[in-house]
């Protein structure tokens, strides 16, 4: 796919997709509540959500369930099937999924009485799950690897015979996603006692009721990048919630450092570029992203485009995403003459090199939707950019290229 810059000020209005993170949690809760009659408004049309919904709707007791690239579905379904009586499920996924570890979650569930076995490589999918009524009890889990493990356990907790006392140890990564899970559980009638990273949940029923899924702040971040890289813009984003459950709403604060101004006009969020904004090239910028790792690629590409010296920390979860995201960023930014120095598994550094026009035919996306969407706005600076495997955006933002066509020339 070829993305070409259009001339003039950027002005557009975008209907953002429903939140994938919120949608997937609501679908699991709906299944746990055994409620199939109450509609979910604005459910995400992301491929990951469609995969999860299809699997849950089939509701088979014996089957091979393939989640493809959907990491959230893999983690959430592992806990869901482990707690479901009379199921015998082989849970598998793509080749990349088979290299994404699941040991912490499987070990935690087995301690609660689950019967989960590895079918190929120890600690990785595919796995065999023989479901049963889990007794629950007290459990400690390392929360420094993935918040999805914690969310998966929390959501099934009310269905366990003895409930669950879950203790988190280590640094808690992506905590806003855990808070989103707890907030949704509360919305559907679950009482949680929480204190100092301990969560006590007694046996109790979910009460499913109508809900409207918020627009996705992660999807909004690419429009913040467009705004930051523009000379002037007026971008209206539709459907976002001022009091959002999503941690990625912090994109407003992060991009304010890069000259993007936000203003609520009714239910729309309007992005503009501050005309008086001047980047401080004498100082290094710092972005701490442990709570919002899905914004890392967007911010790193933006800072690379602006030629900023910048340090990014809190990146420890990027290695086990759709691809090793830091390595992928390093490879693709080098095509523009920009060096991303990976200082550790959780820290990266841009030295402030100026972006040059990419002489390579295309940007590789590594089967990662966020690689495609983070690099596309750089066409504002280099004039034209080719993106390989552009359909990867279907994972979270299916209509991204259609929306982007309002400000770029998109040639498939």
pLDDT at 294 over 90: yes
Domain range holding 402? Answer: 2-18+214-411
Furthest C-alpha separation in the chain = 64
Same domain, 266 and 328: yes
Residue that is written with structure tokens 């209509």 in the block: 399
| The model's pTM | 0.93
- 155, 181, 212: which is the final residue of a domain? 212
Residues 28 and 57 placed together within one structural domain of the fold: yes
Residues 24 and 101 both lie in one domain = yes
| Extended strands (E) in 80-163 | 88-92, 115-118, 127-130, 137-142
Please give the structure tokens belonging to residue 61: 């007791």
CATH number of the domain enclosing 83: 3.65.10.10
DSSP secondary structure code for residue 250 in this structure: G
Nearest Cα residue to 178 out of 206, 198, 158, 162:
198
Dihedral sign computed on CA atoms, order 264, 265, 267, 271: negative
Same domain, 338 and 388: yes
Q: Annotate 146-163 with DSSP letters as a single string.
A: -HHHHHHHHHHGGGSTT-
CA distance linking residue 150 with residue 84, whole number of Å? 18
pLDDT given for residue 37 in this prediction: 73
The model's confidence at residue 141, banded by pLDDT at 50, 70 and 90, is very high
Helix (H) or strand (E) holding 400: helix 400-404
Residue of 348, 340, 350 lying closest to 318 (CA atoms): 348
Same-domain check for residues 276 and 334: yes
Residues known to be catalytic: 294
pLDDT score at 323: 78
Q: Are 125 and 102 in contact (CB under 8 A)?
A: yes
pLDDT tens-digit series, residues 316-361: 888 777 778 999 999 999 999 999 999 998 999 999 888 887 777 6
- In this structure, the answer to whether residues 276 and 378 fall within a common structural domain is yes
Name the domain boundary from 212, 234, 250: 212
Looking at the structure, do residues 226 and 371 belong to the same domain, yes or no? yes
Residues 83-134: pLDDT tens digits? 999 999 999 999 989 999 999 999 999 999 999 999 999 999 999 999 999 9
Q: Give the mean pLDDT of 246-266.
A: 95
Give me the percent of the chain exceeding a pLDDT of 70.
Answer: 99
The residue out of 157, 189, 212 marking a domain boundary is: 212
Residues 198, 236 within the same domain = no
Q: What is the number of domains present in the chain?
A: 2
Closest C-alpha among 205, 135, 197 to residue 166: 197
The residue with tokens 């552009």 is 390
Burial of 317 (0-12, 13-18, 19+ CB in 10 A): buried
CA pair distance 126, 99, nearest whole angstrom = 10
pLDDT, position 357: 79
Q: Which residues contact 21 (CB under 8 A, 6 or more apart)?
A: 72, 177, 180, 216, 218, 246
Same domain, yes or no, for 251 and 389? Answer: yes
Q: Are 39 and 33 in contact (CB under 8 A)?
A: no
pLDDT digits (tens, 9 = 90+) for 263-288: 999 889 999 998 777 777 777 899 99
């Amino acid at each position: 796919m070829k993305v070409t810059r259009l001339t003039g000020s950027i002005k557009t209005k975008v209907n953002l997709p429903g939140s994938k993170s919120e949608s997937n949690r609501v679908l699991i809760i709906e299944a746990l509540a055994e409620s199939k009659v109450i509609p979910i408004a604005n459910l995400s049309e992301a491929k990951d959500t469609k995969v999860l919904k299809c699997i849950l709707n089939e509701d088979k007791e014996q089957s091979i369930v393939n989640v493809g690239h959907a990491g959230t579905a893999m983690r959430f379904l592992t806990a869901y099937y482990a707690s479901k009586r009379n199921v015998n499920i082989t849970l598998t996924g793509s080749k990349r999924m088979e290299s994404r570890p699941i040991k912490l979650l499987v070990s935690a569930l087995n301690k609660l009485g689950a019967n989960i076995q590895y079918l190929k490589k120890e600690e990785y999918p595919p796995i065999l799950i023989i479901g049963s009524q889990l007794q629950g009890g007290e459990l400690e889990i390392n929360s420094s690897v993935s918040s999805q493990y914690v969310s998966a356990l929390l959501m099934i907790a009310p269905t366990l015979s003895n409930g669950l006392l879950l203790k988190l140890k280590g640094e808690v990564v992506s905590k806003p996603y855990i808070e989103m899970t707890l907030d949704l559980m509360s919305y559907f009638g679950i009482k949680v006692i929480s204190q100092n990273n301990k969560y006590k949940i007694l046996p109790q029923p979910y009460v499913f009721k109508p809900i409207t899924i918020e627009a996705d702040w992660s999807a909004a971040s690419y429009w913040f990048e467009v705004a930051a890289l523009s000379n002037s813009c007026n971008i209206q984003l539709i459907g976002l919630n001022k009091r959002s459950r999503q941690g990625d709403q912090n994109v407003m604060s992060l991009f304010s450092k890069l000259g993007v101004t936000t203003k609520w006009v009714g239910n729309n969020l309007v992005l503009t570029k501050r005309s008086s904004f001047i980047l401080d090239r004498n100082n290094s910028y710092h972005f701490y992203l442990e709570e919002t790792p899905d914004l890392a690629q967007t911010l790193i590409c933006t800072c690379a485009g602006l030629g900023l010296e910048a340090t990014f920390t809190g990146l420890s979860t990027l290695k086990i995403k759709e691809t090793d995201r830091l390595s992928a960023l390093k490879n693709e930014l080098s095509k523009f003459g920009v060096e991303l120095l990976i200082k550790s598994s959780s820290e990266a550094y841009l030295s402030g090199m100026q972006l040059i026009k990419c002489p390579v035919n295309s940007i590789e996306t590594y089967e990662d939707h966020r690689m495609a969407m983070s690099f596309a706005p750089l066409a504002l600076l280099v004039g034209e950019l080719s993106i390989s495997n552009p359909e990867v955006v279907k994972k979270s933002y299916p209509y991204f290229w259609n929306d982007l066509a309002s400000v770029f020339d998109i040639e498939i």
